[in-house]
Amino acid sequence: MWCDGLGPMNLSEQPNQAGLRFEFIRFLARPVIPCLLLVAVTLAVYWPVVHCDFVNFDDGFYFSANSHVQAGLNRAGLAWAFTTIYADNWHPMTWVSLMLDETLFGRGPAGPHLTNLVLHAANAVLLFLLLRSWLGSGPGQGTGPAATWQSAVVAVLFALHPLHVESVAWIAERKDVLSAFFGLLTLLCYTSYARRVTDIEDTAVAPVSVRVARHASRFYGLALVCFALGLMSKSMLVTLPLVMLLLDWWPLNRVPGARCRVSGLRRLVVEKIPFFLLSAAACVVTFIAQQKGGAVASLLYFSVSERIGNAFVSYARYLGKAFWPAVLATPYPHPGHWPPWLVLLATTLFVGLGVLAVAWIRKHPYVPVGWFWFVGMLVPVIGLVQVGDAALADRYTYLPLIGIFLVVVRGAGELCANRPAAGTWLGLGAALVLAACAWRTRIQVGYWQDSGTLFRHALAVTENNYAACNNLGTWLTRHNVFIEAENCFRESLRIKPGNPDALYNLGNINARFGRWDEAIDDYRRALQITPDQPDILTNLGLALTARGQLAEATINFEASLKLDPDSASVHNNLGTVLLMEHHVEEAARHFREAYRLAPDNSQICANLGDVLVRLGQISEAAKHYEEALQLNPADAKTEGKLRALGAKNSN
């Protein structure tokens, strides 16, 4: 392992044991102290995130309303995680980590927020160690202290950059920080493997080669395992094998000379075939999952030219936000198409920077590596295959920005390598930049304290943000601010008339105020756009029941149960309608199933008692009435029914 400041030892000298022990302790302390400081700074800046609430933007799917996750880590949950496509994705490691949170910390938001923060701090440490190993060894890689400080600055930028707040503060983005953790471990293991392979090629001593080869194969296997775990956390890591090829050029210096370059490059590509196969499998699974869930946008919504234009503009916007992260939001609305002049400008910038990077490939090899790291890692989420309606997202920069940070910091270090005065000014400038990042990140964390704050901020800094309008309206509904919520839903529909979420939520508002005809119309319009939604089918069934259209209500409840057969509330609703239609036996079957799924629901217990009375099963009905009263002692109606049963039995 490379160590700052320790030169070769003269074997003719006989240093005392105390001196060797001191050097060893100093060797260990050097990476440990920066790592501890890095963790401390990250925790200090991000600590308010632990007190943030859930947000009504996928947190329900991932944690707060996910019955599998809320059950904690168990055998059934593990089977579900690895065999189910849910929330338009297959990422079993993410589900397992969230189940573990519930087991360790309970059902509140503090536990998963804390885990996200710890993972982010761990990622910063892994990045520091990784960069330190790259920049501090090998021919032409620079001096030890300079490499350490450059690695530290990049790691702190990664830890404190405001663009990364979304990945840390959003519980649903556990997949981001977890996949990055495994991705960085993959690169650490791959670096160790590559260095040992180089040792094998450089040494002529057979026993040493055999021993090193054994260690190299172990690190290769570890890299492959970590990569698989990363893909099972989030599939955005699919381009990591290409990053490995970049690292082979620099800093690992594994690309051979001109005489044997073709065969050498072929060997490097063949070596990564298992990684490419895992990436291909992850791409197929992810595309199927997101297409099945309706997340992959059709060409009817965004044409090929619009997708390409948005990709170039997004690259430019990401670069702008990297250097000036002042206006950040969740989510960013897609404009549909950008002005041609803006697309041309963004394309020119993209091509120009790419040409410049290639031109510096020999003199400054870190420049093309950093640039193509940034470009390549963004390819899966740049919008060529449009997923969802967002134009871009802060969370997508979590790993890609490392490439830009590396170019800027390494370049600044080279610029001031032989200029002590310039180095002093550079250090002051770096300190100011990092302090500004910490300040902006602390402010950005504050926007995530709850859904109301988050989406009010998004509406303040973006235009035509129909998703933020809808999510703010949902939050206002839960806080009984119905008039403002209704205005939010109507504004969302004004921006995007075919928004099924806003139609569904507006239907709920109309239903709450007894406007049943309007509610039924909203639900039906939503179902025309997204036909297989159990929540919409259920609420349409309830609205139809209120209007006395029991036969149609039954059809909608049955359709909802086909999509979600384990919904106790829908079984209860269907049982109620069937009882109203005098289908007592069938109603009893659904009430019993609802009771099996939710035995602690007092209303279900009482309803089961009602149907059992109709069937003449008085003793069992009394038992369920008693259960209902134990769960809800204030239920006077059930108490009266139980008393009436007692009087009937006494007569």
Phi first, then psi: give them for residue 34, nearest 5 degrees: -60, -35
> Distance between CA atoms of 572 and 588, rounded to whole angstroms?
10
Helix (H, G, I), strand (E, B) or coil at 387: strand
Helix, strand or coil for residue 5? coil
Tokens of residue 525, six digits: 């319009």
Per-residue model confidence (pLDDT) at position 648: 61
Tell me what pLDDT residue 236 has.
Answer: 93
Q: What are phi and psi of 283, to 5 degrees?
A: -60, -45
Question: What token pair was written down for 289?
Answer: 């999952």
3-class DSSP state for residue 520?
helix
CA distance 534 to 567: 10
The b/e string for 543-568 (b: 16+ C-beta within 10 A; e otherwise) is bbbeeebbeebbebbebbbeeeeebb
Q: Please give the C-alpha separations between residue 363 and each of 133, 250, 357, 360, in angstroms, as whole numbers.
A: 21, 12, 10, 5
- What is the rounded CA–CA span in Å between residue 372 and residue 385? 20
Alpha helices in 203-296 (DSSP H): 206-231, 240-249, 261-271, 273-292
How far, in Å, are 234, 235, 287, 399 from residue 284 at the CA level? Answer: 13, 10, 5, 22
Q: Which two tokens stand for residue 495?
A: 């921006």
The Cα angle at residue 37 between residues 36 and 39, in degrees rounded to 5: 65
Contacts of 412 (CB under 8 A, 6+ apart): 426, 430
pLDDT, residue 12, reads 36
d(CA 234, CA 175): 5
The torsion angles phi and psi of 297, rounded to 5 degrees, stand at -75, 140
- Look at residues 87, 84, 88 and name the one whose alpha carbon lies nearest to residue 62: 87
- By CB atoms closer than 10 A (0-12, 13-18, 19+), residue 283 is middle
420 burial class (0-12, 13-18, 19+ CB within 10 angstroms)?
exposed
Q: Is 170:52 a contact under the CB 8 Å cutoff?
A: no
Q: Give me the pLDDT at residue 389, please.
A: 76
As a residue count, the chain comes to 651
Residue 64 makes CB contacts below 8 A (sequence gap 6+) with: 54, 70, 107, 109
Q: Which residue, 494, 114, 113, 169, is CA-closest to 330?
A: 169
- Rounded CA-CA distance 569/627 in Å is 18
Q: Are 289 and 88 in contact (CB under 8 A)?
A: yes
Rounded distance between C-alpha atoms, residue 176 and residue 394, angstroms: 11
Mean pLDDT by 10 residues, the chain (651 residues): 34 43 47 91 97 95 92 94 89 97 96 98 96 72 70 96 97 97 97 81 52 75 97 96 95 75 80 96 87 57 85 96 94 91 97 96 94 96 78 95 96 79 81 96 97 97 95 96 96 93 96 96 95 93 95 96 92 95 94 93 93 90 90 87 72 53
Spatial separation of the C-alpha atoms in residues 396 and 142, rounded to whole Å:
31
Residues 518/540, Cβ–Cβ less than 8 Å: no
- Return the number of other C-beta atoms located less than 10 Å from residue 637's C-beta: 9
Residue type (1 letter), 50: V
Distances in whole angstroms, Cα of residue 188 to Cα of each of 134, 159, 241, 247: 10, 18, 13, 11
Omega of the bond prior to 109 within 30 degrees of 0, cis? no
> Which structural domains are found in the chain, ordered by start?
35-446 (no CATH), 464-555 (1.25.40.10), 566-651 (1.25.40.10)
pTM of the complete model:
0.87
Provide the terminal-to-terminal Cα distance of the chain, rounded to the nearest Å: 90
> Which pLDDT value is given to residue 270?
92
Residue 89 three-state SS: strand
Return all residues near 544 (Cβ < 8 A) that are at least 6 apart: 520, 550, 552, 553, 556
Dist CA 194 CA 202 (whole Å): 12
Q: What's the rounded Cα separation, in Å, for the pair 615 and 598?
A: 22
- Round to whole Å and give the CA distance between 390 and 353: 25
**Looking up tokens 């950005």, which residue turns up?**
444
